Amino acid sequence: MSRSQRFFHAAALQVDGHWLPNARVAVDNQGRVISVHANQPPHVGDIRCGWLIPAMANAHCHVFQRAMAGQAEFRLGEHDDFWSWRERMYALANGITPDELYDLACWAYADMLAHGYVHVCEFHYLHRSGPHNRDTTAMAEAVLAAAQATGIGLTLLPALYRRSGFCDDSLSPAQQRFGLSVREYLAMLDYLQGRLRGNQRLGVCFHSLRAVSLGDMQAVLSTVPEDWPVHVHIAEQVAEVRQCQQALGQRPVEWLLQHLPVDHRWSLIHATHMNTMETRALAASGAVAVLCPSTEANLGDGVFPFPEYQAAGGRYAVGSDSNVTLNPACECQWLEYGQRLQHQRRVVAGETTDIRPAKAIHAGDALWLTAMRGGWQASCGHAPAEGLVGQVAHWLELDDDKLLLKYASEAQRLDAFMFAAPDAIKRVWQAGRCVAEAGRPVAVETWRRHGLSAFSSLKKRQLI
Ligand SMILES: [Zn+2]
C-alpha cells in the first residue's frame, strides 16, 4: 500500500445508480479514487462509512441573496411578484461591502457543504465595490476568499451586465454596480485567472439576453478559452419572454439556439418558459437546463416543462439561486412536487418513452443522479466521466440510523432520503476529506461568527 493513499470502507456505495455492498475504495492524496472493490471486509485502519452517494454541485447561486432568505415574505401593495422582489434585492445588492460579502459567503458556503453541495457555481454580478466605484475585483475576490476558507469548490462566473432592457442601452441607477464594458469584463477575467486556487475555476457568464447584446456575447466568446463553461439566465419570467419576442422577434431559448453555438459548455438558468420546439431543441443541444425550484416557487416564476424535456433526453441540474434553501435534496423534492401539482400525477422524474419499463422508476434515483451529473457538467463545461475510478471522492453519507432510511429497501433509499428525510446526512466528504458531520459543517462556530458579523452589519445599515 502506498503511504499516500487511504482506504474507505462503505457499507454500500452508489455508483452509476447501482449500490455496491461492502465497498472498499482507495483514494489518493489528491482525493481521487484509485480503485473500488465490492464485497470486501473492512481492514484495520480503513475509514468506516455507511451509505455513500455522489455529492452534488450547486449549479446556480447568488450568495449575497442568502441574507434575504425569509426576510422578504411580506406584501406591501396589492401585488407582489419577481419584479417587486427585485427592488428589495437591489437595495441589498447596492449596499453590501466586500467584507460583508466575505462573511456572508463563508457562512452560506459552509452551510451548503453541510447539505451535500461540495461545489458551487457563483453567478456573480456585484462587480463594483460601490455603485460608481472603479474597483471591479474586490467583490469577486471576497467570493474567492470565502470559497477558499470554507473549502467548497468554486466555478466563479462573473456576469456581463451592460443594459437594463432589450431596448434600453443604459443601466438604471440601481444597476450601476453591475455594469462593465466588454473591455473591463475581459480585463477582470484576466486578473481573476491569476487569483484562482486549487479547486476553483472561471467561466463566462451573461446576465440575461435583456442585459447584453449579441455583439457583446460574440466578443467575449471569441476571446475566452474554448473549454470554459458558459452560463446565462434565459427565460425566468413571462414578461421577459414577451419583451424578447418584441425586441428580437423570437422567444429567448429559440433566439439563443439560433444565434450562438449552444452545446455541452452551456448552462441555461431558469429555462422555465419554453414551447415544445424550444424544449426539444434545448434537449438536443447537450446544454444543461439549470432549475432552481425553491427559488422559482418562492418568486412565483412558473413551472418547467419537465416531462417533455426528459422525454427528449434533456440534461438538467439544480441550483440554490436566491438561497432560500441550501439543501439539494429539497431542491429535487420541489422540482418533483411542482410537477405533481401541475400534472395531477405522481413520479414525474425519470419519464421514459417505455410504456412498461423493465423495472420500477424511482423519483429519488432519477432526480439525484441526473441533477448530480448535470451539476458537474454545469460547473466544468463538460459531462463528468461515468464510473468511479479517476473521479474525485465527493460523497454524501446518508444517515442510516434514521428509521425511514434504515427500513427502506435498497431501491428506496434515495426516495426515503429525498421525500421523507432530506436532513438524514451523517457526513459529507469532499475529495476524501470530511467537511461536515450531522448536518453541521466542520468548524461550525467559525462560520457562524462570520454569519453573525455579516447580519449585524447589514441589519445596522438597514439593508435587510
Ligand atoms: Zn439567478
317, 371 Cβ separation under 8 angstroms: yes
Mean pLDDT of 172-187: 92
> pLDDT value at position 272?
95
pLDDT at 134 over 90: no
Confidence band of 146 (pLDDT split at 50, 70, 90):
very high
> pLDDT value at position 44?
96
Q: Is the dihedral of CA 40, 42, 43, 45 positive or negative?
A: positive
Model confidence pLDDT, tens digit, residues 386-429: 667 778 999 999 999 999 999 999 999 999 999 999 999 999 99
Confidence band of 352 (pLDDT split at 50, 70, 90):
low
How far apart are the CA of 83 and the centre of ligand 1, in A? 13
Residues in CB range of 215: below 8 A, 6 or more apart: none
Model confidence pLDDT, tens digit, residues 24-64: 999 999 999 999 999 999 999 999 999 999 999 999 999 99
How far apart are the CA of 9 and the centre of ligand 1, in A? 39
Identify the weakest region by mean pLDDT among 305-319, 350-364, 419-433: 350-364
List the beta strands (DSSP E) in 292-354: 315-318
Question: How far apart (Å, rounded) are the C-alpha atoms in residues 120 and 61?
Answer: 7
Question: How far apart (Å, rounded) are the C-alpha atoms in residues 187 and 438?
Answer: 43
How far apart are the CA of 19 and the centre of ligand 1, in A? 35
How far apart are the CA of 323 and the centre of ligand 1, in A? 10
| Catalytic residue ranges | 270, 321
CA 395 to chain centre: 16
> pLDDT value at position 361?
87
Amino acid 11 reads: A
Identify the weakest region by mean pLDDT among 292-306, 353-367, 419-433, 449-463: 353-367
Distances (CA, A) of 78 to 81, 84, 161, 414: 10, 11, 31, 42
Phi, psi of 276 (to 5 degrees): -60, -40
CB count, 10 Å around CB of 452?
12
423, 439 Cβ separation under 8 angstroms: yes
What is the three-class DSSP state of 120? Answer: strand
List the beta strands (DSSP E) in 161-269: 200-202, 204-208, 230-233, 266-269
DSSP conformation letters of 225-268 = -TTS-EEEE----HHHHHHHHHHHSS-HHHHHHHHS---TTEEE
Pairing of strands 425-430, 433-437: antiparallel
pLDDT at 4 over 60: yes
Confidence band of 354 (pLDDT split at 50, 70, 90):
low
> pLDDT value at position 268?
98
The mean pLDDT of the chain is 92
The residue to which cell 475529495 is assigned: 431
Q: Is 151 left (phi over 0), alpha (psi -120 to 50) or beta?
A: left
298, 273 Cβ separation under 8 angstroms: no
What is the three-class DSSP state of 367? Answer: helix
Selection from 453, 425, 377 nearest residue 53 by Cα: 425
How far apart are the CA of 63 and the centre of ligand 1, in A? 10
How far apart are the CA of 356 and the centre of ligand 1, in A? 38
> pLDDT value at position 102?
98
How far apart are the CA of 378 and the centre of ligand 1, in A? 14
Q: Which fold has domain 56-380?
A: TIM Barrel (3.20.20)
> pLDDT value at position 131?
61
Gyration radius of the chain over CA positions: 22
> pLDDT value at position 23?
97
Model confidence pLDDT, tens digit, residues 425-455: 999 999 999 999 988 999 999 999 999 999 9
How far apart are the CA of 404 and the centre of ligand 1, in A? 34
How far apart are the CA of 216 and the centre of ligand 1, in A? 20
How far apart are the CA of 207 and the centre of ligand 1, in A? 8
160, 107 Cβ separation under 8 angstroms: no
Supply 236's cell numbers.
425566468
135, 348 Cβ separation under 8 angstroms: no
pLDDT at 231 over 70: yes
Residue of 352 and 426 predicted with greater confidence:
426
Residue of 7 and 70 predicted with greater confidence:
7
pTM: 0.95
pLDDT at 89 over 90: no
Domain ranges of the chain: 6-54+391-444, 56-380
pLDDT at 269 over 90: yes
Supply 436's cell numbers.
461536515
Confidence band of 379 (pLDDT split at 50, 70, 90):
very high
pLDDT at 98 over 60: yes
> pLDDT value at position 168?
83
Question: What class has domain 6-54+391-444?
Answer: mainly beta
Identify the weakest region by mean pLDDT among 173-177, 184-188, 384-388, 459-463: 384-388
pLDDT at 79 over 80: no
> pLDDT value at position 115?
96
